[in-house]
Amino acid sequence: MKHVEHIMVVEDDPGLSDMLCQMLRSRGYHTECVYDGAEAVDRVVEQQPDAIVLDVMLPGMNGFDVCRKLKFRKDTNQIPILMLTALNDPQSRRQGLRVGANRYLTKPFDPLDLLKELRDLLDNHRRLADGNARAQGELHMQSDSKYREHLNDMLDELFQLTPLTEADIGRMRYAVLEMTENAIEWGNGRNEDLTVRIAYEVSDDQMKFVITDQGTGFDPKDCPHAACEEDPMTHLDLREKLGLRQGGFGIMIAKGMVDKVEYNDTGNEVTLTKYFATLPSAAAQA
């Protein structure tokens, strides 16, 4: 029997909610209307819809908080969320994407645009489910360390999908948090108008994080203010002359915590990979 895709519409305006549900049912979707943010979180966890159309201005809990809660749970983080709202200012759009919304449409909207965006989300979600990825997604965080606790919560959920030991989990957590802090502090200069993108994927054989800042980047091979394995303390004098805080050990330590650390050509994106099986020997990789 063909699966009928289940769309949850979270909208507190009964007229608009009914219109959306009728439109979606006319295209063959099974729909459900929810009018309250906190209730929506509970219903999503219980029913696991295929996608969510989510308003921002909701009673009880706004759509940004609903989205954040769902994206930081391992059992709901893959469900596509199309955020639909009258808030069309750039700051609101950025906030929606920062908390993990997959698409952001503003009212008034063209119904055909909504249907197309929703279909694209569902097709992409199906492709993910057909592969060997257990979890995949991305977050956009403001350049403020207070958001580390949200990232830490998400890591707790994601690590439950892996066979990693407690010691390996601790190492991977350190590497992700340290590289995120580097992106916030060094890449974006703690400018809260800039975001850090954290993409993640857990598959059958590995866990991968890609951390990208909006800064100009750097050359990781020419970074005299960072610690190096040959002489881990030599950078401290240079940091003092430059007026930088003590530190610079993060990259060096992170390299010892995961199996692979790779930077892009511009130096504003780092990929951290942890394999669940033993890596092949260096000779075999050469």
Token digits of residue 154:
């998400």
Domain boundary residue among 115, 130, 145? 130
85 beta partners: 106
For residue 179, the model assigns a pLDDT of 86
Helix axes 90-98, 63-71, angle to 10 degrees: 30
Cα of first residue to Cα of last residue in the chain, in angstroms, is: 49
pLDDT of residue 134 exceeding 70: no
- pTM exceeds 0.95: no
For residue 27, the model assigns a pLDDT of 95
Helix (H, G, I), strand (E, B) or coil at 84: strand
User: Residues for the chain: how many in total?
Assistant: 286
Q: Which domain holds residue 137?
A: 133-285
pLDDT of residue 197 exceeding 80: yes
Residue showing tokens 């892996």:
162
Indicate if 123 and 137 belong to the same structural domain: no
Q: Is residue 13 one of the residues assigned to a domain?
A: yes
Q: What is the DSSP letter of 36?
A: -
Indicate if 121 and 213 belong to the same structural domain: no
Q: Is residue 55 one of the residues assigned to a domain?
A: yes
Q: Is residue 74 one of the residues assigned to a domain?
A: yes
> CATH number of the domain that 60 lies in?
3.40.50.2300
What's the number of domains the chain is made of?
Answer: 2
Which residue would you say has higher pLDDT here, 278 or 162?
162
Q: Kindly provide the residue ranges of all beta strands, DSSP E only, lying in the chain, ordered along the sequence.
A: 6-10, 30-34, 51-55, 81-85, 103-106, 133-142, 195-203, 206-212, 260-263, 269-275
pLDDT of residue 6 exceeding 90: yes
pLDDT of residue 71 exceeding 90: no
Indicate if 103 and 195 belong to the same structural domain: no
Sheet order of strands, 81-85 included? 30-34, 6-10, 51-55, 81-85, 103-106
When pLDDT is averaged across residues 177-197 and rounded to a whole number, the result is 84
Residues 6+ apart with CB under 8 A from 250: 178, 179, 181, 182
pLDDT tens for residues 89-123?
666 555 555 566 778 788 888 999 999 999 988 98
3-state DSSP of 195-209: EEEEEEEEECCEEEE
pLDDT tens for residues 15-58?
999 999 999 999 999 999 999 999 999 999 999 999 999 998 89
Domain boundary residue among 130, 154, 170? 130
pLDDT tier, 254 (very low <50, low <70, confident <90, very high otherwise): confident
**Nearest-angstrom CA–CA distance, 251 and 248:** 7
Considering 19-28, 81-90, 272-281, the range whose residues carry the highest mean pLDDT is 19-28
Indicate if 160 and 281 belong to the same structural domain: yes
For residue 13, the model assigns a pLDDT of 92
